[in-house]
A and B are shown apart, each in its own frame.
Chain A
Amino acid sequence: MKLLTSLLRASLDSLRDLTPVVLVVVFFQFLVLRQPLPDHMGLVDLGVGLVYVVLGLTLFVKGLQLGLFPIGEDLAYAFARKGSLAWLLLFSFALGFGTTVAEPALIAVANKAAEVVAAGGIIPNDIENQSRFAFQLRMVVAVSVGSAVVLGVLRIFKGWPLHYLIIAGYVIVLLITTVAPEEIIGIAYDSGGVTTSTITVPLVTALGVGLASSIKGRNPMLDGFGLIAFASVMPIIFVLVFGLVLT
């Protein structure tokens, strides 16, 4: 019973996320475009799809809160206090990698990217090559997020200022952009934004805040944040290099 009410509350949250999108689309469709939906898109299909989205996101987030987040956060705190730097770094990498592989937005965008790249003739246009490209892209992004978390943890340990590292990251991005194939640039820049959402942000933030509060002289507010910032620059670099290797 308690689970049911909390599920209901969670579905209201997902609904609140979706409502602005639906309102804006409805407003433009019927007041600006003043057109009915095209024939190939059934209203029922759309409605069912939106119900899937709300239901799916609700179950996903609730499941994360029941299963993954409590252990993940406990582990993050345990490793932050354990004192062994090698284990901490290994765990940081694994955490960044694992959460990124399961990130819904990345799965969706990688599949789209594979379709577009195949249609553009960069890779052979069949299902097998598309899914291989999507898989490789996601692995590259996941490895990059893993390394970003490792770098972020090292930063908290050593007390390096965040902005110098970010600026260095930006410079590297711009330098590689000049040699990377044109077709990968958009995908690479976008992959920085899609990696950091539902699963990655809470777990990685828990690691950062746990770490900053267990080291003397670190302010959790100042040093705990900023891990996400690395996780949105590193994938750009890695995917640009991936594009270089691919062509």
Chain B
Amino acid sequence: MQLLQTLYSTLLDVLPIAAIIFGFQYLVIRRRVTHLPRVLSGFGMVLLGLSLFLLGLEQALFPLGELMAVQLASPAFLPELVDGAQRHWSDYYWVYLFAFAIGASTTIAEPSLIAVSIKAGEISGGTIDPFMLRIAVALGMAFGITLGAWRIVTGTPLHWLVMGAYVLVILQTLRSPRMIIPLAFDSGGVTTSTITVPIIAALGLGLASSIEGRSILLDGFGMIALACLFPIITVMGYAQLANWLETRKKRTTE
């Protein structure tokens, strides 16, 4: 029953892109679709797959993310308080470690990132090491999520952190090798995969709901935003570092 309902709403979600693709194909380009049966069965699989994924999300990924947040931030697990003392943000160190571990581990093996980093290594002519680039993105992502967790714990307004990150990005943009810039900006968007986003969202909402004095509405969101921004910074940082090392090496050999 639930599957049928999800299937129906998913159909409405997939309809626009199907209409756009077929509409432009038949009405504007006026060409027949080759392998029509294959294409249609592809759409069928998209429909079924998306429905199953959304069901599994509700049943497993969201609860898992929330469970971890609630447990790691529960008073029973945190170090004991001296009478009358206030909770310090550093008491939540397991939360930060969890955030960091989730961010780093999901990013390092991301297939689209592997493909992009190999390409980047090729165009840089060997200055950029694909593996180091992947580490840079993973560290950026992990740091962004950790900072997001810290922000929820302390209640720091999101836009201050975002503003700081923007300033860093702009300063770096002006000094980075030109060919890395579009790649760096795209790497921020690419890394947040379909599996990572729900886990992070649930983690943030769970933290905001279980830490005293935090509002789920004001503090619960924002982790994904930071997770997208920091890879831009670390990728440009790595490119600058690689460039600097290269020129230094040249200077010493000359």
Check if A128 is an interface residue, CB within 8 A of chain B. no
Question: How far apart sit A75 and B9, CA to CA, in the bound complex (Å)?
Answer: 27
Q: Which B residues are in CB contact (< 8 Å) with A140?
A: none
Please name the residue on chain A nearest to B13 by beta carbon: A102
- A71 in contact with B195 given A52-B56, A56-B49, A232-B189 (CB within 8 Å): no
Check if B135 is an interface residue, CB within 8 A of chain A. no
Beta-carbon contact of A52 and B53 below 8 Å: yes
Within 8 A of A (CB), among B16-63: 16-17, 19-21, 24-25, 28-29, 33, 35, 38-63
Q: Which A residues are in CB contact (< 8 Å) with B28?
A: 87, 91
State the Cβ distance, A129 to closest chain B Cβ, in Å. Answer: 15
> Chain B 183-208, CB within 8 Å of chain A: the 1/0 string?
10110111011111111011001000
Please name the residue on chain A nearest to B94 by beta carbon: A32
Which size class do A's interface residues fall under? 35 or more
Please name the residue on chain A nearest to B104 by beta carbon: A20
Check if A78 is an interface residue, CB within 8 A of chain B. yes
> Chain B 133-168, CB within 8 Å of chain A: the 1/0 string?
000000000000000000000000011001100100
Beta-carbon contact of B158 and A107 below 8 Å: no
- A197 in contact with B14 given A49-B60, A95-B20, A228-B186 (CB within 8 Å): no
Question: How far apart sit A79 and B51, CA to CA, in the bound complex (Å)?
Answer: 31
Beta-carbon contact of B57 and A53 below 8 Å: yes
State the Cβ distance, B168 to closest chain A Cβ, in Å. Answer: 11
Secondary structure at the A interface, as helix, strand, loop or mixed, is helix
Check if B181 is an interface residue, CB within 8 A of chain A. yes
Q: Which B residues are in CB contact (< 8 Å) with A122?
A: 217
Question: How far apart sit A177 and B46, CA to CA, in the bound complex (Å)?
Answer: 37
Q: How many residue pairs, one in A and one in B, have C-beta atoms under 8 Å apart?
A: 325
Q: Which B residues are in CB contact (< 8 Å) with A16?
A: 109, 111
Q: Which B residues are in CB contact (< 8 Å) with A159?
A: none
Beta-carbon contact of A28 and B98 below 8 Å: yes
Check if B101 is an interface residue, CB within 8 A of chain A. yes
Q: Which A residues are in CB contact (< 8 Å) with B44?
A: 63
Check if A99 is an interface residue, CB within 8 A of chain B. yes
Find the residue from B16, B163, B170 having the highest chain A CB count within 10 A. B16
Which size class do B's interface residues fall under? 35 or more
Check if A45 is an interface residue, CB within 8 A of chain B. yes
- A163 in contact with B61 given A57-B194, A102-B16, A232-B189 (CB within 8 Å): no
Within 8 A of B (CB), among A20-34: 20-21, 23-25, 27-29, 32-33
Beta-carbon contact of B185 and A197 below 8 Å: no
Q: Which A residues are in CB contact (< 8 Å) with B126?
A: none
Beta-carbon contact of A21 and B109 below 8 Å: no
Beta-carbon contact of B216 and A120 below 8 Å: yes
Please name the residue on chain A nearest to B33 by beta carbon: A71
Q: Which A residues are in CB contact (< 8 Å) with B71?
A: 29, 33, 35
Beta-carbon contact of B221 and A108 below 8 Å: no
Check if A210 is an interface residue, CB within 8 A of chain B. no
Please name the residue on chain B nearest to A120 by beta carbon: B217
State the Cβ distance, A9 to closest chain B Cβ, in Å. Answer: 12
Residue from B64, B123, B159 within 8 A of A221 (CB atoms): B123
Q: Which B residues are in CB contact (< 8 Å) with A49?
A: 55-61, 63
Check if A66 is an interface residue, CB within 8 A of chain B. yes
The 8 closest A-B pairs by CB, nearest first: A67-B42, A49-B60, A52-B56, A186-B221, A59-B49, A63-B45, A56-B53, A56-B52
Q: A101-B13, A170-B169, A186-B225 are in contact. List 16 more A-B contacts (CB 8 A).
A: A21-B102, A49-B63, A56-B54, A58-B49, A70-B39, A75-B24, A102-B14, A108-B197, A166-B185, A173-B162, A174-B163, A187-B221, A190-B201, A192-B225, A221-B119, A229-B188
Complex A-B: 21 CB contacts under 8 Å: A17-B106, A21-B64, A23-B105, A28-B98, A45-B60, A49-B55, A49-B59, A52-B56, A52-B59, A60-B49, A63-B46, A63-B49, A65-B42, A67-B41, A67-B43, A109-B197, A112-B201, A117-B217, A119-B216, A167-B173, A197-B197
